[in-house]
Amino acid sequence: NIGSYRFAGLYQQSPLPAKGNIFKRMYFRYFIENDEFFILKAFNNDKETKRVIPKSDCINFAVCDLAVTKKETSDYTVILIYSVTPKNDILIRDIIRDRYEGANHKELILSVHEKWKPSIIGIESVQYQTALTQIMQNTGLAIKALKPDKEKVMRSLPMQVRLEGGKVYFLDKAHWLDDFEKELIMFPNARHDDQVDAFSYIAYMTNEIGNVTPKGAKLILKKEGITSNYI
């Protein structure tokens, strides 16, 4: 599956119009959760179907897109927390989006780790963030440096494919959901796209992790030189 954006460009010779719409609302899916289970909801022939997945079978991750100032005109710092199921479903569980001074990033990331116990924390590693990545690695956390090797639209396409393939779910009725969905739908022409940046990095974080047991995931991470106590 190459996604509708690439299909239009390759086969219809009609790349995405200027108004955007890389991520389409029609593909959004949702889940709810309790203390022990995730409940994934989808529609098949206009009928709602549900899958129940034990949380103990899933792996938690966090992705950080950090901005270094609290100025009103600056970008936002975004930390996106998600879980991956044994069948490689991606469940967006929480999004932190606010403006922080760079000096507060370390404590922010430590607080996220304390609450969610992610197996890996990915940090976009450019300029100041490169130094912070090294600092966080020295704390003993499992940190993965994420380096933007493509421009934003191209970087977003792997997650577009997963979304259209029915592999991505958002926490239903979450307080952050409306803003997140609006930014996805308006991308790449929204005023801010920090949440989309973090969302796009999920594909870089979990490309090989799905369809394996937690033990298998740990072996994959070991090959990358990442040790985690939370798988």
Residue 73: per-residue pLDDT: 54
Lowest mean pLDDT among 1-15, 70-84, 189-203: 1-15
Q: Which residue has the tokens 């001074």?
A: 101
Which structure tokens are listed for 106? Answer: 């370390």
Q: What is the DSSP letter of 103?
A: G
CA–CA gap between residue 89 and residue 213 (Å, rounded) = 14
* Domain boundaries defined on the chain: 23-223
What mean pLDDT comes out for the span 195-201? 95
Q: How does DSSP assign the chain, residue by residue?
A: --HHHHHHHHHSS-PPPTT--SS-GGG--EEEE-SSEEEEEEEETTEEEEEEEEGGG-EEEEEEE------TTSPPEEEEEEEE-TT--EEEEEEEEE---GGGHHHHHHHHHHHH--SEEEEE-STHHHHHHHHHHTTT--EEEE---S-HHHHHHHHHHHHHTT-EEEETT-TTHHHHHHHHHHTTSSS--HHHHHHHHHHHHSTTTTTS-HHHHHHHHHHTT---S--
The predicted-structure confidence for 69-78, as pLDDT tens digits, reads as follows 666 557 889 9
Higher pLDDT, 164 or 207: 164
Is the predicted pLDDT of residue 229 greater than 70, yes or no? no
Is the predicted pLDDT of residue 158 greater than 80, yes or no? yes
Band of the pLDDT at 179, cuts 50, 70, 90? Answer: very high
Residue 2: per-residue pLDDT: 44
Lowest mean pLDDT among 23-37, 114-128, 148-162, 206-220: 206-220
What mean pLDDT comes out for the span 10-17? 46
The model scores a pTM over 0.85 = no
What mean pLDDT comes out for the span 166-181? 96
- What CATH number belongs to 23-223? 3.30.420.240
Q: Which helix (H) or strand (E) holds 5?
A: helix 3-11
Q: Could you tell me the end-to-end alpha-carbon distance of the chain, in angstroms, rounded to an integer?
A: 30
Residue 217: per-residue pLDDT: 58
Band of the pLDDT at 62, cuts 50, 70, 90? Answer: very high
What mean pLDDT comes out for the span 155-182? 94
Q: Treating both helix axes as pointing N-terminal to C-terminal, what angle do 3-11 and 152-164 enclose, rounded to 10 degrees?
A: 110
Which structure tokens are listed for 53? Answer: 């997945």
Would you call 122 helix, strand, or coil by DSSP? strand
CA–CA gap between residue 123 and residue 161 (Å, rounded) = 23
Q: Which of 185, 204, 184 is nearest to 194 (CA)?
A: 184
Residue 126: per-residue pLDDT: 80
Would you call 206 helix, strand, or coil by DSSP? coil
